[in-house]
Amino acid sequence: MKIAGLLIILSLFILLPCDSFSQFSSIDYLIEGKQSLKSEDFSNAEEYFTKALLEFQEIGDYILFWRARAYTGMKKYEKALQDLNELKKNYPSSPIIKEAAKEEIEIAKKLNLPELDEIYESFINEYPEEVKTKFEYAQHLKEKGEIEKAKIIFKDIFVTATSFADKAEKELSKKDITINDLIKKSKALNNAYLFKKAEKYIKMALVDTDNSQKTEILSILGYSLFMQKRYSEAAEIFKECKDYYWRARALLRAKDYETFETELPDYIKTGDQRISEILINYANIKRRTGEPDEAINILKMVVNRYNSARENGLWSLGWNYYLQQEYEEAKKIFQELYSSYSKLKYLYWLERINELKGVVATKHYSISFRPGDIYSYLLYMKGKISYIPEPVSSINYKLKLPKRVDILMQTGFKEEVLKEIKSSLKNNRNIENIPLFSKIVYDAGDYPTSIRLISKIPGRFNYHDLLYPEPYMDIVLKASKNFNINPYLILAVMREESKFNRQVLSPAGALGLMQLMPYTAKREGKKLGILIKEDQEILEPETNILIGSFYLKNLIEDFQNIALAVAAYNAGEKAVLSWIKNNSYTDMDELLEDIPYAETKAYVQRVLTSYFEYLRTNKKLTQEHISKIIKIKGGNP
């Protein structure tokens, strides 16, 4: 009797609809629907999404898209198209509208719809950057026998720097490609840092051109050669096209100072304000090669002639006086600069002059710590800033999230949350939600986007943990212990090299979190017993951090100074050794201020600033700590 009763109860449960005993919430329908779609259980996915759509019209675009994919998996193409059309009609600003349009093309191809061409053209007009789809359409037209129409699209792809450009070129004959096409392609390749390839195509244009476009073609060629560090060749090309600014730059890089000096009056006569940059650079070269008086004369001319370069010209003039120990002249200029621009840089060097002269400053400045300004830390080291506050991390979690983001957050769909946040910020310039959005992105592990977002707002230092995150700490601590290197220095280098983007590839070919060149990674890795067979292995976080930290530690041991090691990490050991050898500095701060490579100088300042900020976060920043980094025992670097 008991068994019979149990069977009756079970049979009732079987006959009841699923909703009668399901413990699912509306959110669960979304989650289960996505999981079913992923596992290709399309029937269940469709059922879950249909139920979810009734509850979540706010994110109906996502649900319609997912349900359309489920219908496609079930080969119910007409229903899939209905969902995609509803999505486009009711959610025209959706961040997945492009994905929906791509899905529509795929279905139209499967059904061989007569309006396929129209769908393709609509997509290409809306999204001209989608080269892959363009190429597919051109191939489709070619197969249909519409050769001339296909060629127009192949040419449009050819002039890009994408991976499909080479494929498109194979579909074209030489007579199909015009000089204008070659010019466009060369510009695109230069913009993509593919300078050698750009040179190839622009030289093809040069062969066939008439004089009407020769100047433009030569200018593009000169730039390609310059960026390949073929400075003498570039200088001759710029001479031919009468581009004096780039001609002057190329001559200085080629160290052809005799020609530069001969032509200098012609550069000045152009009235081009950019020539002021060249003159300041040349003055510094003169000073470094033992002609300080000539350098000062050039800089005086810059200050008097070029209003747009007055601040930089004055600074360089004051700096030249300072290094020649003409402290009174330097002091006048630094005082004028600080009065005009209130930059701590000028105040720091004013105080350094007083220190070198052994006098107490007669003027007292009321200055507070400015986070992110390298000179704040240097002034703190000198006792001119008495107090550095603890960093702040105050996110207002009471801010109301947009409903769409809130729903997607509840489901745990990280990819969709990121899309929605990026779309929201793109369409709404209100920065109120940026800290909270940055935190959400941070929690999703997208540190580069999180840092980029929080860096946009004026009060970014009020969100210190977002601005200076500490990811990969288990690996960082392992490297720190193995190589006896401060973990916060490792984090600082990573932050400035890659913003913690593990997949990043630089134009020069550096890879991963610590931006290692393949030959450096293989050389240093071998010393550690880490054998790199494929460059892709360098992107693996543990491999990258261990090798990068080991290399950085070796540089610190070689130079006996963190700041110089950081400079060598960026510019190479030989360059830093030459700076030390060829100059006489009273202390490390002078060398760091006088780094000849602008990129390296800025890089060192950024890394040291991040290092100090990480130390500040962890309550380890002291005057002594900064002094050890900026100074070398004994005073002379």
pLDDT in tens, 66-78: 999 999 999 999 9
pLDDT value at position 94?
95
Ranking 117-121, 248-252, 412-416 by mean pLDDT, the lowest is 412-416
The answer to whether residues 479 and 457 belong to one domain is no
Select from 113, 143, 176 the last residue of a domain. 176
Task: Please list, in sequence order, all residues whose beta carbon lies within 8 angstroms of the beta carbon of residue 384, skipping any fewer than 6 positions away.
Answer: 347, 348, 351, 365, 367
Rg of the chain on CA atoms, in Å: 31
Q: What is the mean pLDDT of the chain?
A: 90
User: Which letter, b or e, does each residue of 206-237 get, where b requires 16 or more Cβ atoms within 10 Å of its Cβ?
Assistant: beebeeebeebbbbbbbbbbbbeebbebbbbb
Q: Does residue 281 lie in a domain region?
A: no
Task: State which amino acid sits at residue 431.
Answer: I
pLDDT value at position 636?
36
Q: Which helix H or strand E contains 186, and what residues bound it? A: helix 179-191
Dist CA 315 CA 338 (whole Å): 10
Q: What is the mean pLDDT of residues 103-116?
A: 95
φ, ψ of residue 471 to 5 degrees: the values are: -80, 165
The answer to whether residues 508 and 616 belong to one domain is yes
Name the percent of the chain lying above pLDDT 90. 75
pLDDT value at position 429?
63
- In this prediction the pTM is 0.86
The answer to whether residues 419 and 529 belong to one domain is no
The answer to whether residues 59 and 73 belong to one domain is yes
On the question of pLDDT at 14 being above 60, the answer is no
What is the CB neighbour count within 10 angstroms for residue 451?
21
φ, ψ of residue 393 to 5 degrees: the values are: -140, 90
Contact 401, 409 (CB under 8 A): yes
The answer to whether residues 543 and 420 belong to one domain is no
Task: State which amino acid sits at residue 155.
Answer: K
The phi-psi region of residue 399 (left if phi > 0; otherwise alpha if psi is between -120 and 50; otherwise beta) is beta
pLDDT value at position 15?
38
Please tell me the total count of domains within the chain.
3
Q: How confident is the model at residue 22 (pLDDT cuts 50, 70, 90)?
A: very low
User: Which letter, b or e, does each residue of 344-368 get, where b requires 16 or more Cβ atoms within 10 Å of its Cβ?
Assistant: bbbbbbbbbbbeeeeeeeeeeeeee
**76, 69, 10, 62: which is closest to 40 by C-alpha?**
69
Q: Does residue 102 lie in a domain region?
A: yes
The answer to whether residues 105 and 29 belong to one domain is yes
The answer to whether residues 521 and 551 belong to one domain is yes
On the question of pLDDT at 634 being above 60, the answer is no
Q: How confident is the model at residue 183 (pLDDT cuts 50, 70, 90)?
A: very high
Q: Does residue 574 lie in a domain region?
A: yes
Q: Does residue 424 lie in a domain region?
A: yes
Q: How distant is the alpha carbon of residue 34 from its chain centre?
A: 32
Instruction: Give 94-139 as a 3 state SS string.
Output: CCCHHHHHHHHHHHHHHHCCCCHHHHHHHHHHHCCCCHHHHHHHHH
Dist CA 86 CA 79 (whole Å): 11
**368, 344, 345, 371: which is closest to 459 by C-alpha?**
371
Greater confidence (326 vs 622) lies with 326
Greater confidence (8 vs 150) lies with 150
Q: Does residue 297 lie in a domain region?
A: no
On the question of pLDDT at 167 being above 60, the answer is yes
On the question of pLDDT at 17 being above 70, the answer is no
pLDDT value at position 557?
95
Structure tokens that stand for 540 in this block: 């693996």
Task: State which amino acid sits at residue 244.
Answer: Y
The answer to whether residues 453 and 510 belong to one domain is no
pLDDT tens digit sequence for 301-335: 999 999 999 999 999 999 999 999 999 999 999 99
Task: Please list, in sequence order, all residues whose beta carbon lies within 8 angstroms of the beta carbon of residue 66, skipping any fewer than 6 positions away.
Answer: 33, 34, 37, 45, 49
**461, 459, 441, 462: which is closest to 450 by C-alpha?**
441
**523, 516, 562: which is closest to 540 by C-alpha?**
516
Structure tokens that stand for 503 in this block: 């997949």
On the question of pLDDT at 361 being above 70, the answer is no
pLDDT value at position 247?
97
pLDDT value at position 394?
66
Q: What is the mean pLDDT of residues 603-623?
A: 93
pLDDT tens digit sequence for 562-606: 999 999 999 999 999 999 887 778 888 999 999 999 999 999 999
The answer to whether residues 478 and 461 belong to one domain is no
Dist CA 436 CA 456 (whole Å): 13
| Residue spans of beta strands (DSSP E) within 389-435 | none
Contact 395, 435 (CB under 8 A): yes
Greater confidence (632 vs 173) lies with 173
φ, ψ of residue 217 to 5 degrees: the values are: -65, -45
Q: Does residue 15 lie in a domain region?
A: no
Structure tokens that stand for 419 in this block: 């899309």
Q: What is the mean pLDDT of residues 133-146?
A: 96
pLDDT value at position 362?
54
Length of the chain measured in residues: 637
| Residues of the domain holding 424 | 403-467
CATH code: domain of residue 105: 1.25.40.10
On the question of pLDDT at 19 being above 70, the answer is no
Q: What is the mean pLDDT of residues 460-471?
A: 93
Q: Does residue 604 lie in a domain region?
A: yes
Q: What is the mean pLDDT of residues 503-515?
A: 91
Name the percent of the chain lying above pLDDT 70. 93
Contact 280, 313 (CB under 8 A): yes
Query: What is the DSSP secondary-structure string of 196-236?
Result: HHHHHHHHHHHHH--GGGHHHHHHHHHHHHHHTT-HHHHHH
The answer to whether residues 487 and 407 belong to one domain is no
The phi-psi region of residue 572 (left if phi > 0; otherwise alpha if psi is between -120 and 50; otherwise beta) is left
CATH code: domain of residue 528: 1.10.530.10
Select from 176, 192, 210 the last residue of a domain. 176
Q: Does residue 359 lie in a domain region?
A: no
Ranking 335-349, 361-375, 505-519, 548-562 by mean pLDDT, the lowest is 361-375
The answer to whether residues 408 and 478 belong to one domain is no
Ranking 31-45, 99-113, 329-343, 361-375 by mean pLDDT, the lowest is 361-375
Q: What is the mean pLDDT of residues 378-384?
A: 90
pLDDT value at position 586?
81
Select from 440, 467, 494 the last residue of a domain. 467
The answer to whether residues 518 and 539 belong to one domain is yes
